[in-house]
Amino acid sequence: MMVIFSNFILQINRKFGPGTMLPLLLGKYHRPRVENRVFLFIDLQSSTQIAETLGHLRYSSLVKDCFLDLNKVVPIYEAEIYQYVGDEVVLTWPMEKALRKINFICSFFAFQARLNKKRPYYLKKYGLLPHFKAGANGGEVTATEIGDIKREIAYHGDVLNTAARIRSACNDYQKAFLVSETLARHLSAFSGFRASFVDDVWLRGKSHFVKCYAVEMVFPSSNTSTQSSHFQ
């Protein structure tokens, strides 16, 4: 009986996602509350072209495989999976966890490194190696529990809208990973990564320009060797 119960709890936790089930059960978000969070939007590059080439069924299989590989990375970097939307996934962290060893940066590079490591698999099955683009932003959002028949935690606020539009700007500047100035300034303490100013970007729906920075991984020094070991 204990084994059955444990398996049931495990399956429920997988359904809601790590870090989500307990707050829902405890009613933590029954009333809206303000939280300081980082959101990372990850999206498949050239998705329309790939879908036309593969067809709907093989394309869906590709996206499923990619997200299964992402799920291998997520626990290492303490991320919560907020949403899957088509070929896009949104990860989130409380600000403190996101900045701890810059988890929000490492998670993206670790994901792409895992895909690169499985290059033979993807080439054989789909004839291509998937690449993703990402955009990140952080700040205060409102978190609340929504729904009745199906309940989940929803986050509302300009932070998410800006993160999504930063991710969209990757195409305009031919960059794989863009972050807001709010997050870029935290990279200076980590020599394994470089944040380069791209532009004062006008994002659709915003009344002002947003400073965007491109994030790249550079050859790691000794103080980043622990992080980079996950990228192999």
* Amino acid in position 14: R
Asked if the structure places residue 66 within a domain, the reply is yes
Output the pTM of the full model.
0.84
Asked if the structure places residue 198 within a domain, the reply is no
Asked if the structure places residue 70 within a domain, the reply is yes
Contact in structure between 191 and 101 (CB atoms under 8 Å): no
Full residue range of the structural domain in which residue 172 is found: 27-176
pLDDT at 12 over 50: no
Which residues fall within 8 angstroms of residue 105, CB to CB, at 6 or more apart? 136, 177, 179, 187, 190, 193, 215
- Return the bridge partners of 144, or none: 154
What's the CA gap between 103 and 150, in Å, rounded? 30
CATH number at residue 94: 3.30.70.1230
- Return the bridge partners of 41, or none: 90, 135
Asked if the structure places residue 212 within a domain, the reply is no
Contact in structure between 60 and 187 (CB atoms under 8 Å): no
Q: How many domains does the chain have?
A: 1
| Tokens 């491109």 -> residue | 214
pLDDT at 32 over 50: yes
pLDDT at 221 over 60: no
Collapse the DSSP code of 161 into the 3-class scheme (helix H, G, I; strand E, B; otherwise coil) and give the result: helix
Asked if the structure places residue 227 within a domain, the reply is no
Asked if the structure places residue 60 within a domain, the reply is yes
Q: What is the per-residue pLDDT for 222? A: 38
